């Protein structure tokens, strides 16, 4: 089974539902900006900044901190040692609280991956102060290939559709096994979604349905990417309700209204607050679902400088009342 790195896939691509009842505590102080009201930081998934951290990690983290971000999720180790990464974060005054761990491969951003020995992995993450990791991208079937002249996104969608529910059961098995191995070392493992998980399978269910049923809630949690949920034509509030008590983090991501429902990793990205997602509904639903970490993320292409884009997102989130 092959696991493809999300950055690689995206680069290859061209660079009335369930309602969530909100407790009274979630409605208190609604006149305050949401993040001030709940007392949690606005975080950033560093993937958003492309190769800026590769070129100048220390300078990039300093710029991020100046914008106002204090919590960072790492997409990988950037080919740095955990000690060097921690030093860069400490110097900038930001905290690393989560990381994406890929399966072994040439695009992992370092030698450490999801199958690294639990002790070595725990030592690395403990150095960073991280106790939560997520598998960022679903596995692709071993026989996956792109026909000559074919569309990569469509080829992935077709492969997952052909593989059916058994493929998603195997994904859940990988998550359960690795989560069980990491748990004694104090590391929690979760899964990060895109939109292909929501593609209807031949039997009427979706890969998302299978994952939610097959992963062990005592071992595996979720990072719900709200932008990809919307790109799949789903209501983020509904999906947060399905994951209540199981969702540790969200990717606070917006998409333009021109984004069509699809299951092949396509969206029209924009800054948070500039798109179609209804944050006054979504953020309280995330709080009620038990979300602990809120990471801004934006997909390419960008209409402006990446740092300017995340500054716009941070500015919106720091003032939004929800």
First to last CA, the chain: 43
pLDDT digits (tens, 9 = 90+) for 283-304: 999 999 999 999 999 999 999 9
pLDDT digits (tens, 9 = 90+) for 91-130: 999 999 999 999 875 555 567 899 999 999 999 999 999 9
Q: What are phi and psi of 129, to 5 degrees?
A: 80, 25
Q: With residue 242 as reference, give the H or E element that holds it.
A: helix 236-242
Ordered by where they begin, the domains of the chain are 2-14+29-319 (3.20.20.150)
Tokens, residue 77 = 């180790």
Which residues are 133's β-sheet partners? 99, 189
> Averaged over 273-292, what is the pLDDT?
99
DSSP readout, 179-227? Answer: HHHHGGGT-EEEEE--SGGGSB-TTS-BHHHHHHHHS-TTTEEEEEEHH
pTM above 0.85, yes or no: yes
Higher pLDDT, 216 or 6: 216
pLDDT digits (tens, 9 = 90+) for 1-28: 444 455 454 444 443 333 344 444 444 5
CA angle 260, 255, 268 (to 5 degrees): 60
Residue 268: pLDDT above 50? yes
């Amino acid at each position: 089974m092959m696991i493809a790195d999300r950055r690689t896939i995206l680069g290859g691509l061209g660079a009335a539902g369930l309602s969530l009842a909100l407790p009274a505590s979630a409605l208190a102080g609604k006149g305050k900006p949401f993040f001030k009201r709940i007392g949690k930081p606005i975080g950033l998934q560093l993937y958003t900044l492309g190769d800026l951290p590769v070129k100048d990690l220390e300078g990039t983290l300093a710029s991020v901190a100046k914008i106002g971000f204090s919590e960072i999720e790492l997409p990988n180790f950037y080919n740095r040692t955990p000690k060097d990464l921690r030093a860069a974060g400490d110097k900038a005054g930001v905290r690393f609280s989560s990381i994406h761990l890929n399966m072994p491969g040439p695009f992992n951003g370092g030698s450490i991956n999801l199958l690294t020995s639990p002790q070595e992995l725990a030592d690395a993450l403990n150095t960073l102060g991280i106790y939560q990791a997520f598998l960022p991208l679903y596995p692709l079937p071993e026989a996956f290939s792109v026909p000559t002249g074919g569309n990569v996104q469509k080829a992935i969608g077709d492969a997952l559709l052909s593989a059916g529910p058994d493929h998603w059961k195997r994904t859940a098995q990988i998550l359960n096994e690795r989560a069980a191995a990491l748990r004694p070392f104090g590391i929690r493992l979760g899964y990060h979604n895109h939109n292909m998980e929501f593609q209807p399978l031949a039997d009427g269910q979706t890969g998302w349905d299978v994952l939610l049923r097959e992963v062990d809630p005592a071992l595996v949690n979720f990072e719900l990417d709200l932008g990809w949920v919307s790109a799949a034509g789903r209501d983020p509030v509904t999906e947060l309700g399905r994951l209540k008590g199981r969702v540790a983090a969200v990717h606070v991501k917006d998409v333009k209204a021109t984004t069509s429902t699809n299951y092949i990793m396509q969206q029209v990205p924009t800054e948070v607050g500039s798109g179609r997602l209804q944050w006054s509904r979504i953020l309280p639903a995330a709080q009620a679902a038990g979300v602990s970490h809120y990471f801004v993320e934006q997909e390419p292409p960008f209409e402006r400088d990446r740092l300017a884009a995340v500054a716009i997102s941070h500015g919106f989130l720091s003032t939004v009342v929800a």
